């Protein structure tokens, strides 16, 4: 039996941030990892997907400026090689070194709760190590792809985000199940990198349904212009792949069929809690771990269990998991030291305001706070202002083909922003200003004095305020 002040299970971005901060505060900290330190984000999600999308994005940018033209198609082989470099050739030695330098002990194996403050780690050789926490255990095991119960789908060896972001070659024909963020990003990446046919099967009528409706519409238009075949109100009824690695036939609910070389399932994710021993501490298995705003698991006596990142189901985004990890680790340190554990940084406030998120399609979808529909459903006195971003000098200068739209959702009672969405090429870096305004509840009258430079796309802020009547 080995004892530490804190045990973190899962070395994805959330777990690593928690462990690093706890160790920096002087607590002996161990992190348990069953695959690669760095987690889904580093090897099979954020990083490789953005490496695949970057050249496609840039090609779109080039196409919008008169006088510029790509010399030829994108060199997909070189892009995949760059992706391999971005994911450090799927080797986590660098992360392991960082953990070591941060004073965090890395134990490789699958961690499982075995009662209060106790974790059993099954190592690759089948051995079991028992770790005991003096103060806290932090769950940071992330999430996994959901494979919907479609006949023949699981047996057909579908791609999940792992195979898509880790593709060794670009498939000639790809069928994508889903219309959310991963589906849109990967459909665009594969088509842009050379897939001849990309077909999206979208159960509902729209893409990106959690965002403002115009976001899904603009992304759908861009994907269609790029040649992606989007089938809405459509789903797979049966999937057949007689030969492993051979052609896939998807029988559609509407009656037709689609044939492809690969099938990507991007139909949602679920918290990785299946084999985590939650029952041993009285929590339900196979569900997100419910937490309070200090990331402490609810319903566990003595409050020694925390959950950060995708595993708690609050916001499946790397930056939010890391934010939660900062809050949880500061709370743990304060409680160990007997200090106040309710200082402002120690509570999750950002999730409640609405987490910022960027969808890295072309155009990018950048949103923070509530959508208009959410704000109305929550009973706010809402007013909405919108502006087309190509009408701003900075947008127009980005190219004749540049199109974008901004929307702000205003709380009329307090004259503050409840939510902001930008949909435009390269808009990601605009989002943080909106995040500051929404989470800090800056009044519109104060925003008026934050003068955007000319000629930048940020002048859309001024246009939104003018549209409001300032």
Ligand X SMILES: Cc1cc2nc3c(=O)[nH]c(=O)nc-3n(C[C@H](O)[C@H](O)[C@H](O)COP(=O)(O)OP(=O)(O)OC[C@H]3O[C@@H](n4cnc5c(N)ncnc54)[C@H](O)[C@@H]3O)c2cc1C
Residues placed in the known binding site for NAD(+): 178-185, 268
Q: Which stretch binds ligand X (CB under 6 A): 80-88, 137-145, 172-180, 280-288?
A: 137-145
Give the up-direction half-sphere exposure of residue 333: CA atoms within 13 A in the CB hemisphere: 21
- Total of residues contacting ligand X (CB under 6 A): 37
Residue 441 C-beta: closest distance to ligand X, Å: 23
Beta strand residue intervals within 140-277, DSSP E: 143-145, 173-177, 197-202, 229-232, 236-240, 248-252, 257-260, 262-265, 269-271
Stretch that binds ligand X, among 221-229, 233-241, 305-313, 449-457 (CB under 6 A): 305-313
Nearer to ligand X, 29 or 318 (CB): 318
Q: Which residues are annotated as a binding site for FAD?
A: 50, 111, 141-143, 310
Decide: is 41 part of the binding site for ligand X (CB under 6 A).
yes
Our finding on whether 178 is near ligand X (CB under 6 A) is no
Q: Which of residues 270-289 bind ligand X (CB under 6 A)?
A: 272, 276
3-state secondary structure of 186: helix
Shortest distance in whole angstroms from residue 261 CB to ligand X: 20
Q: Does 11 bind ligand X (CB under 6 A)?
A: yes
Helix (H) or strand (E) holding 165: helix 161-165
* Pairing state between β 143-145 and 269-271: antiparallel
The region of 9-17, 236-244, 418-426, 431-439 touching ligand X under the rule CB under 6 A is 9-17
Tokens of 54: 């970057």
Asked whether position 309 contacts ligand X by CB under 6 A, the answer is: yes
7, 9, 87, 366: residue in contact with ligand X (rule CB under 6 A)? 9
Between 148 and 455, CB nearer to ligand X = 148
Burial class from Cβ neighbours inside 10 Å (0-12, 13-18, 19+) for residue 216 reads buried
Is 435 a residue that touches ligand X (CB under 6 A)?
Answer: no
Q: Strand ranges (DSSP E) for 190-293?
A: 197-202, 229-232, 236-240, 248-252, 257-260, 262-265, 269-271
8 binds ligand X (CB under 6 A): no
Question: Of residues 96, 189, 228, 317, which one binds ligand X by CB under 6 A?
Answer: 317
- Nearer to ligand X by Cβ, of 47 and 389: the residue is 47
Site string for ligand X, 86-125 (x = CB under 6 A): ------------------------xx--------------
The reply to whether 355 sits near ligand X by the rule CB under 6 A is no
Distance between terminal CA atoms of the chain? 66
Residues 138-167: x/- map of binding to ligand X (CB under 6 A)? --xxxx-----------------x---x--
Q: Confirm or reject binding of residue 32 to ligand X (CB under 6 A).
A: yes
Scanning residues 190 to 249, which ones bind ligand X (CB under 6 A)?
none
Select from 180, 174, 237 the least CA-distant residue to 206: 180
> How many residues in the chain?
470
User: Residue positions in the annotated binding site?
Assistant: 50, 111, 141-143, 178-185, 268, 310
Rule CB under 6 A: say whether 46 interacts with ligand X.
yes
The contacts of residue 198 (CB under 8 Å, 6+ apart) are 173, 174, 175, 176, 187, 190, 191, 227, 228, 229
Q: How far apart are CA 463 and CA 66, in angstroms?
A: 26
Question: Binding to ligand X by residue 56, rule CB under 6 A?
Answer: no
SS3 assignment, position 121: strand
> Residue 49 interacts with ligand X (CB under 6 A)?
yes
Q: Note whether 326 and 308 are within 8 A (CB).
A: no
Please report where in the chains the tokens 């088509």 appear, as a residue. Answer: 191
321 lies in the binding site for ligand X (CB under 6 A): yes
Helices then strands, counting H and E runs in the chain, come out as: 15, 21
- At which residue do the structure tokens 């992304």 appear? 219
- Give yes or no for residue 10 binding ligand X (CB under 6 A): yes
Contact between 319 and 368 under an 8 Å Cβ cutoff? The reply is: no
* Least spacing, CB of residue 161 vs ligand X, in Å: 4
Give min distance, CB of 415 to ligand X, in A: 30
**φ, ψ at 381 (rounded to 5°):** -85, 100
Q: What is the contact surface with ligand X in residues (CB under 6 A)? A: 9-15, 32-35, 39-41, 45-46, 49-50, 110-111, 140-143, 161, 165, 182, 272, 276, 309-311, 316-319, 321
């Amino acid at each position: 039996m080995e004892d530490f002040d804190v045990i973190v299970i899962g070395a994805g971005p959330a777990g690593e941030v928690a462990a690093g901060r706890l160790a920096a505060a002087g607590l002996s900290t161990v992190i348990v990892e069953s695959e690669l330190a760095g987690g889904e984000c580093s090897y099979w999600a954020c990083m490789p997907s953005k490496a695949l999308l970057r050249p496609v994005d840039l090609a779109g940018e080039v196409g919008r400026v008169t006088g510029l033209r790509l010399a030829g198609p994108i060199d997909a082989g070189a892009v995949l090689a760059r992706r391999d470099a971005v994911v450090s050739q799927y080797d986590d030695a660098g992360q392991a070194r960082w953990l070591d330098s941060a004073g965090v002990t890395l134990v490789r194996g699958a961690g499982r709760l075995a009662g209060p403050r106790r974790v059993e780690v099954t190592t690759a050789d089948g051995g079991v190590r028992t770790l005991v926490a003096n103060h806290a255990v932090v769950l940071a095991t992330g999430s996994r792809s959901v494979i919907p119960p479609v006949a023949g789908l699981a047996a057909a060896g579908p791609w999940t985000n792992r195979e898509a972001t880790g593709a060794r070659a670009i498939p000639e024909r790809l069928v994508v199940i889903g219309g959310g963020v991963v589906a849109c990003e990967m459909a665009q990446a594969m088509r842009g990198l050379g897939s001849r046919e990309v077909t999206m099967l979208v159960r509902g009528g729209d893409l990106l349904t959690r965002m403002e409706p115009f976001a899904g519409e603009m992304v759908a238009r861009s994907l269609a212009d790029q040649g992606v075949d989007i089938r809405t109100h459509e789903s797979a009824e049966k999937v057949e792949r007689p030969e492993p690695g051979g052609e896939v036939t998807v029988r559609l609910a509407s009656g037709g069929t689609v044939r492809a070389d690969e099938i990507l399932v991007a139909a949602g994710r679920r918290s990785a809690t299946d084999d985590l021993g939650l029952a041993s501490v009285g929590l339900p298995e196979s569900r997100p771990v419910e937490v309070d705003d200090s990331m402490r698991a609810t319903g566990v006596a003595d409050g020694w269990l925390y959950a950060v990142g995708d595993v708690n189901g609050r916001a499946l985004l790397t930056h939010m998991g890391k934010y939660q990890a900062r809050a949880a680790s500061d709370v743990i340190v304060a409680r160990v030291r007997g200090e106040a554990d309710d200082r402002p940084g120690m509570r999750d406030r950002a999730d409640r305001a609405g987490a910022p998120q960027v969808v890295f399609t072309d155009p990018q979808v950048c949103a923070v706070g509530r959508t208009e529909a959410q704000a109305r459903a929550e009973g706010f006195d809402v007013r909405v202002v919108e502006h087309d971003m190509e009408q701003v000098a900075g947008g127009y200068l980005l190219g004749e083909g540049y199109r974008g739209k901004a929307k702000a959702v205003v709380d009329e009672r307090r004259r503050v922003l409840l939510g902001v969405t930008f949909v435009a090429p390269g808009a990601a870096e605009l989002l943080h200003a909106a995040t500051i305004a929404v989470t800090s509840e800056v009044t519109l009258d104060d925003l008026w004095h934050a003068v955007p430079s000319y000629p930048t796309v940020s002048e859309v802020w001024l246009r939104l305020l003018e549209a409001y009547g300032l």
